[in-house]
Amino acid sequence: MNYQERITSDHTIMLGKPVIKGTRITVEIILKKLAEGATIADMIEMYPHLKKEDILAALDYASAVISGEEMISST
């Protein structure tokens, strides 16, 4: 999956946070709800205009961002 087909960032929408294209639903809120235990089906019920592919794209985007980060040693 190519998250770029479904995720966009525009400074005029949600202060430039990454969102699902055509919505104001941020990747952040999708990740937060999933971390709180929501399922993909729950997310689609909460946000009926979302598709499963949108949620998977949000996860793919988050993975891409995290894979580019460096770990900071706490020692």
**15-62 per-position pLDDT tens digit:** 999 999 999 999 999 999 999 999 999 999 999 999 999 999 999 999
Sign of CA pseudo-dihedral 65, 35, 51, 10: negative
72 has pLDDT over 80: no
Distance CA 34, CA 28 (A): 10
Q: Model pTM?
A: 0.86
Where are the chain's structural domains?
3-67
Q: At what angle do helices 52-67 and 27-35 cross, to 10 degrees?
A: 100
CA 75/CA 48 separation, integer angstroms? 46
CATH 3.40.50.720 fits 3-67, yes or no: no
